[in-house]
Amino acid sequence: MPDAGHFDFLIIGGGQAGIPLAHGLAKTGKQVGLVEEKYLGGSCINFGCTPTKAAIASARLAYQARKAVEFGLKIPTVEVDFAAVLKRAKDILMRSRNGLDRGFERVDNPSLIRGHAALDGRNGNGFAVKVGDAHLTADQVVLDTGTRTAIPPIPGLKRLDTIDSENWLEKTDLPEQLIMVGAGYIGLEMGQFYRRMGSQVTIIEGSGQIIAQEDNDVASAIQGFLESEGIEFRKNTKVKNVRPSRDGVIVLVEGLSGQAEIEGSHLFLATGRKPNTDKLALDKAGVKTTDGGIVQVDNRLATSVKGVWAAGDIRGGPMFTHTSWDDYRILMSQLAGDGSRTTDRIIPYGVFVDPELGRVGMTEKEARASGANVKVSRFDMAKNSKANEIGEPRGFIKVVADAGTDRILGASVLASEGAELVHMYVDIMNAGAPFSAIRDAIHIHPTLAEAVQSAVSQL
């Protein structure tokens, strides 16, 4: 194929940073190309945020229907059409994906180029990039290729048809007995989803605590909520090998009390993420990565090679859709603005179990380890009027503050709509204001938001 052309900016990967960056740079008059091997939208739209939250919404509705008697209602039976649940989730993601496709169809610039891209060395002051048989050149390159499921080296895995965070939508048969390997965000969210759909669920975790980065009281509370729904946890447990059985899979595990076999119908791998950098030929341009394949960047998202940038999950650090989108804002600032935006930012996140966990800043454990003079408050949601009125009294809010400045260092909101409520703390932290700004405000009664105020009032 002949030379396909030259671009001012070539973006490799159509994720949550790459797509808005392509359109944004094109509006400045630059010639922009975006290369996508598979689907636009990255993990979020195609198998992550969008379909999982749609499916979780179906599971929550089923859970609420089963609890209807607590609200004075009688719903005789709740039947789950699992294939229909997945179809609804897939329909929602397809609307988003198709909308992104149309965004490129309507314009000549940026250009959408389909295929696998790899760097092919330098081209004068710029870079050569191969996309299939096509040869492209660009003054600057942005890498936004995302991550994939990290497959652990467990003997026997290759003999099994496993489920993971990328293929779960295609598995339309509801697992009768699901074995989940990994108790991080994905494992907990999807474990609760399958349980509420009707599966028996066992979650295996190698460490002594689920979601190990959280404070123990938060993790223990979440584990308790999930256990109350019938999910079994095997902590401090390693998977030694797996093998197929007549009805599914047999997992040999080793825990504190020795070895045991767990039999299930399906195996779900929630064992972390691996960066999609191994086939980019980054070495041809001299771009440095860690041993795990993470692209090394500075706080401007510049790599070790001038003119090559990285965004999204492959740049290391927090792997969230909202950080990827903020990476787009940083790169727009660096490439077409005043360069003021950097990765010096406060990053919140949510764990979409039910009740939700909204998190921002330091945990109590991290704050105390930092040597800061901290004070901590905790407010139980059972004391909030609205939580009781809507039947959602589970959970608590914990706030960690600097005792000298009265500024919030971090917050954990484990509550109904916790991922929404935490944003009050996010905003006050970004403003650099003391917690009294929330304490002294008037909040509507009755609302869950009053609990956010109650928590800081105890400081």
Same domain assignment for residues 74 and 213: no
Report if residue 323 sits inside a domain. Answer: yes
Q: For strand 200-204 and strand 32-36, is the pairing parallel, antiparallel, or unpaired?
A: unpaired
pLDDT at 2: 37
Q: Give DSSP secondary structure letters for 305-334.
A: STTEEE-GGGG-S---HHHHHHHHHHHHHH
Q: Give me the phi and psi of 163, to 5 degrees please.
A: -105, 145
Same domain assignment for residues 168 and 299: no
CA distances from 306 to 292, 301, 322, 360 (A): 22, 11, 26, 33
Tokens of 453: 């105020």
Q: Which domain holds residue 314?
A: 5-148+274-336
For the chain, percent helix, then strand, then coil, each to nearest 5?
35, 30, 40
CATH number at residue 359: 3.30.390.30
- Domain end call among 245, 271, 297: 271
Same domain assignment for residues 286 and 222: no
Same domain assignment for residues 36 and 138: yes
Question: How far, in Å, CA of 309 to CA of 354, rounded?
Answer: 37
Report if residue 341 sits inside a domain. Answer: no
> What is the gyration radius of the CA atoms in the chain, in angstroms?
24
Same domain assignment for residues 224 and 243: yes
* CA nearest to 266, candidates 163, 159, 196, 150: 163
**How many structural domains are present in the chain?**
3
Q: What is the pLDDT of residues 131-190, one digit of tens each?
A: 999 999 999 999 999 999 999 999 999 999 999 999 999 999 999 999 999 999 999 999
Check if the beta carbon of residue 330 is closer than 8 Å to that of residue 322: no
Q: What is the pLDDT of residues 259-314, one digit of tens each?
A: 999 999 999 999 999 999 999 999 999 999 999 999 999 999 999 999 999 999 99
Positions of the chain with pLDDT lower than 50, given as ranges: 1-3
pLDDT at 420: 98
Same domain assignment for residues 295 and 429: no
Please state the separation of Cα 233 from the chain's center in Å: 22
Same domain assignment for residues 119 and 11: yes
Question: How far, in Å, CA of 371 to CA of 390, rounded?
Answer: 40
Give me the sign of the Cα torsion angle 17, 19, 23, 25: positive
* CA nearest to 112, candidates 51, 32, 56: 32
Same domain assignment for residues 143 and 292: yes
* CA nearest to 422, candidates 391, 387, 398, 458: 398
Same domain assignment for residues 412 and 429: yes
Residue 123: exposure state from Cβ atoms within 10 A (0-12, 13-18, ≥19):
middle
pLDDT at 3: 46
Tokens of 228: 């109350």
Report if residue 209 sits inside a domain. Answer: yes
Question: How far, in Å, CA of 46 to CA of 40, rounded?
Answer: 8
Question: How far, in Å, CA of 193 to CA of 168, rounded?
Answer: 12
Report if residue 212 sits inside a domain. Answer: yes
Same domain assignment for residues 118 and 34: yes
pLDDT at 4: 56
- Domain end call among 306, 336, 366: 336
Report if residue 348 sits inside a domain. Answer: no
Same domain assignment for residues 256 and 291: no
Report if residue 120 sits inside a domain. Answer: yes
Q: Give DSSP secondary structure letters for 348-392.
A: EEEE-SSSEEEEEE--HHHHHHTT--EEEEEEEGGG-HHHHHTT-
Q: For strand 111-114 and strand 147-149, is the pairing parallel, antiparallel, or unpaired?
A: unpaired
- Domain end call among 248, 271, 294: 271
DSSP at 108: S
CATH number at residue 86: 3.50.50.60
* CA nearest to 250, candidates 266, 232, 234, 230: 266
Same domain assignment for residues 223 and 285: no
C-beta contacts of 419-423 below 8 A and 24+ residues apart: 419/350, 419/351, 419/352, 419/356, 419/357, 419/358, 420/356, 420/358, 421/358, 421/397, 421/448, 421/449, 421/451, 421/452, 422/348, 422/350, 422/358, 422/359, 422/360, 423/348, 423/358
Report if residue 344 sits inside a domain. Answer: no
